[in-house]
Amino acid sequence: MSSNPSAAPAIQLIGIEKKFGAVHANKNINLTVAKGSIHGIIGENGAGKSTLMSILYGFYHADAGEIRVNGAPIRIPDSQAAINAGIGMVHQHFMLVENFSVLENVILGVEGGALLGKGVSEARSALKRLEADYGLEVDPDAIIEELPVGLQQRVEILKALYRGAEVLILDEPTGVLTPAEADHLFKILGVLRDQGKTILLITHKLREIMAITDTVSVMRRGEMVATRKTAETTVEELAELMVGRRVLLRVDKGPANPGDVVLSVRDLVVKDNRGVTMVDGVSFDVRAGEVVGIAGVAGNGQSELLEAITGIRKPTSGEILIHGQPVTGFDAARLRTLGLGHIPEDRHRMGLVLKFEESENSVLGYHRAPAYGKGMALDLNACREDAKRKIEKYDIRPPNCRLKTANFSGGNQQKIVVAREIENDPSLLVVGQPTRGVDIGAIEFIHRRLIAMRDAGKAVLLVSVELDEIRSLSDRILVMFAGHVVGEKSPETGEQTLGLMMAGIAA
């Protein structure tokens, strides 16, 4: 790689246009990416970042515009052409064959002949070389599905490098990683840049942009709105550019006015599907008009606790009371009639049916209510009118209640769930990971709605692995570790103290 500062940019996009039907995903995009730099592209979900990168990788075809690689205009009709031009991509959802070995995944598409023998041994030695050059260790014979997510992602990077990529596109690479894995990824990216590779990092997380990029471009609603040197910008400026207005990164809220106990959990024991005790004798109360946050590292029993309270999983022993009435073992439908609202941890698995229309999801779980139909028949017009009302009130985009839910962005999907649960006016709202995979504009919105619920005298139980979220929303924090509540703290408690408790070290 040349270190000549006057060298042509690694990538130049000029006037890129792309429409999907009525959706203008990319509007006249211009972008210049310098060689040997880490260039971040930030924007909310649905801003058109992934579309732009898919065009660069030959997955989609631009309607208009020009792509230049190292100064030379080229056409990229398919992924093969992108690979040939030295562009590699690490997709958000890994493009790996899960029951193949690392080696098989790396050579797929570049097998080096009709028979596998020779290509496999060549790849083996090439992998060793890449491992030494970039610190990308991975066992070439390991089966992908047995590897942790962080290593799977490493295989994706190796795939690209094995194909001779000089430009590496990473699409939301940290969405699936733990913080430690993400830090390790950033180190690897730093090494790659120092060796002359060019990296395009697509993300909606401001922290990552500030931590690792040299330059950052901001996209909003299909347009490239700004490009800044990372050192010369701030989180606040980027957030404003992304959303198009000033964003409060912290939630404003007054003091809580706790009232009567709404939810009471007594000595609850819950086992998971394998029969392992995940919740081991947990007791707590949630009062009307307060938010109780449950902090903890994922997998310490929070999910099972939520499932037991919301009637999805039967507890082994212990008691759950809502407004003093024992409800242990009630199913989810019956609990809803008693005033329970539930925003589940995983909107795809539990909160929504992605193939349904927005209007159908917007009444799901409450569809038996007389407002939505009579007897066995649903009143579809009533459902749609109701959905339109929620769409307006919660600013769900695109505002089309007949669209399949799968076509909404993550933030808007989450808003559909939030709208459904809150608008049913529950007296107890149980919330799991409310902003996982949600862009900052929507995060702010959802946080405000949760606080509004509290201020309206509802009891809110919040489970989140995002410590910031727990601290900014909760009035009381319970820390869970290994199935136990190891302590109760006020939200002013320092991050470090809570972190130690979450690790089971201090109480």
Q: Tokens for 335, please give them.
A: 């609990």
Does residue 121 touch other proteins according to CB under 8 A?
Answer: no
Q: Which residues 355-414 are close enough to bind other proteins by CB under 8 A?
A: none
Beta bridge partners of residue 334, listed in sequence order: none
For other proteins, which residue of 3, 5, 6, 115 counts as binding (CB under 8 A)? Answer: 115
The residue within the footprint of other proteins, chosen from 16, 40, 104, 166 (CB under 8 A), is 104
Those residues whose C-beta lies under 8 Å from the C-beta of residue 255, and which sit 6 or more positions away, are none
How many chain residues interact with other proteins (CB under 8 A)? 34
Residue 47 C-beta: closest distance to other proteins, Å: 14
Which of residues 116, 251, 338, 378 is near other proteins by CB under 8 A? 116
Of 57 and 394, the one with the shorter C-beta distance to other proteins is 57
Task: Please pick, from the candidates 35, 91, 228, 342, the single residue that binds other proteins as defined by CB under 8 A.
Answer: 91
Exactly one of 52, 56, 96, 216 binds other proteins (CB under 8 A); which one?
96
Q: Would you tell me how many other CB atoms lie within 10 Å of the CB of residue 361?
A: 25
Q: Binding other proteins by CB under 8 A: which of 53, 87, 89, 473?
A: 89
Question: Is 17:63 a contact under the CB 8 Å cutoff?
Answer: yes
Task: Out of 15, 71, 109, 148, name the contact with other proteins by CB under 8 A.
Answer: 109
Largest CA distance in the chain: 75
- One-letter identity of residue 143: I
**Distance of closest approach, residue 116 Cβ to other proteins, in angstroms:** 6
Which residue's CB is nearer to other proteins, number 302 or number 413? 413
DSSP 3-state of 175? coil
Q: Of residues 13, 38, 55, 83, which one binds other proteins by CB under 8 A?
A: 83
Minimum CB separation from other proteins for residue 111, in Å? 4
| Smallest distance from other proteins to CB 311, Å | 29
- Peptide bond before residue 491 is cis, with ω within 30 degrees of 0: no
> What is the torsion angle, in degrees rounded to the nearest 10, for the CA atoms of residue 303, residue 304, residue 310 and residue 315?
-170
Minimal distance in Å, beta carbon 214 to other proteins?
27
Among 117, 179, 254, 324, binds other proteins (CB under 8 A): 117
| Smallest gap from residue 356 Cβ to other proteins (A) | 18
CA distances from 154 to 134, 187, 299, 386 (A): 11, 12, 24, 46
When binding is defined by CB under 8 A, the residue of 80, 125, 325, 497 that contacts other proteins is 80
What distance in Å separates the CA atoms of residue 361 and residue 381, rounded to the nearest whole number? 14
Instruction: Closer to other proteins by CB, 89 or 263: give it.
Output: 89
Question: Following CA atoms 375, 380, 386, 391 in sequence, which dihedral angle do they give, to the nearest 10 degrees?
Answer: 140
Site residues for other proteins, 10-29, by CB under 8 A, read 20
CB of 159 to other proteins, least distance (A): 8
In terms of CB distance, is 88 or 341 closer to other proteins? 88
Residue numbers 52-71 binding other proteins by CB under 8 A = 57-60
Q: Which of 22, 114, 376, 377 binds other proteins (CB under 8 A)?
A: 114
* Binding status of residue 166 toward other proteins by CB under 8 A: no
CA distance 430 to 306: 8
Check residue 107 for interaction with other proteins (CB under 8 A): yes
What is the strand order of the sheet 291-295 is part of? 340-343, 428-432, 459-463, 291-295, 476-481, 484-489
3 state DSSP class of 390: helix
CB 272 within 8 A of CB 278: yes
Residues 6+ away with beta carbon under 8 Å from 461: 263, 286, 291, 292, 294, 309, 428, 429, 430, 431
Closest separation in Å from C-beta 50 to other proteins: 8
Q: Does 98 bind other proteins (CB under 8 A)?
A: yes
- Which residue's CB is nearer to other proteins, number 76 or number 501? 76
Q: Interface with other proteins by CB under 8 A: which range of 31-39, 89-97, 203-211, 313-321?
A: 89-97
The residue assigned the tokens 């539930």 is 342
Nearer to other proteins, 407 or 472 (CB): 407
Going by C-alpha positions, the residue among 101, 97, 27, 92 that lies closest to residue 54 is: 92
Sheet of 325-326: strands edge to edge?
A: 277-287, 261-271, 317-322, 325-326
Q: Is 287 in the site for other proteins (CB under 8 A)?
A: no
Q: In the complex, which residues of this chain contact other proteins (CB under 8 A)?
A: 20, 51, 57-60, 78-83, 89, 91, 93, 95-100, 104-105, 107-111, 113-117, 119
